[in-house]
Amino acid sequence: MYSLKGKVAIVTGGARDIGRQVSLKLAAAGAKVCVNYLGNKEQADETLRLINEAGGEAILVQADMTKGSEVKKVVDNCVAAYGETIHILVNVAGGLMGRKVLADLDEEFWDAVMNVNLKSVYLVTRAVVPHMTDGGAIVNFSSQAARDGGGFGALAYAAAKGGVLTLTRGLAKELGPKDIRVNCVSPGMINTTFHNTFTKPEVRTNVAAATPLRREGEAGEVGDLVLYLASDASSFINGESVEINGGTWFA
């Protein structure tokens, strides 16, 4: 539907679930994709296999997006493989890391959640923007939790994702004059490992039942939205948070 032929993309956290679907969708549209992953090489190899089998082109780069030196490694590898220009950045890397209420929320845990969800976006964006040309697109990942405070024990996560919303808007103003658009997507309940790990089945059932569409979302649906925001089809959308939650929360 959207052509990204001749474009180069970096996807952080691009090896599984939503990140995998984003990588697959961008590659299928013609982009050369630099897929970052943290630790699970088996998942990363499977993502690369799926891209290659579909006729796409990609490389894998293992790195921790909370560390500037490792972020540089991703950018350097991407530039070495596909040239100096990076057209698209999708900051998927992030996670809940655990559910802790305020009384149990120690400083170390707070910092870890902020680093993986918010600091990573800042670090990667800062490193990639010098390689972006006019017409570049950045897509960040916030969450419905940024809007409604999140579920039980998600205080730090919700706060970090709220920071991503604000960072997105600030970057949209700063980079817009360079013709670089910055937007974010804010998923609700999506069928992923995230909720398999951190959300009780009965909670998921109840949330799905209360959603106007009466189901959870799928990672591929989020990937389709990211593809749109990364493409020229969304050329006048900037600084926006697009909610994808089946109607459980309205902006």
Active site residues: 157
- Secondary structure, 3-state, 156-203: HHHHHHHHHHHHHHHHHHHHHHHCCEEEEEEECCEECHHHHHHCCHHH
Strands 137-141 and 190-191 turn out to be: unpaired
Q: Longest Cα pair distance anywhere in the chain, in angstroms?
A: 51
Sign of the Cα pseudo-torsion (135, 226, 51, 195, in order) = positive
Could you tell me which residues come within 8 angstroms of residue 48 by beta carbon, excluding any fewer than 6 positions away? 35, 58, 59, 60
DSSP, residue by residue, 61-88:
EE--TTSHHHHHHHHHHHHHHH-S---E
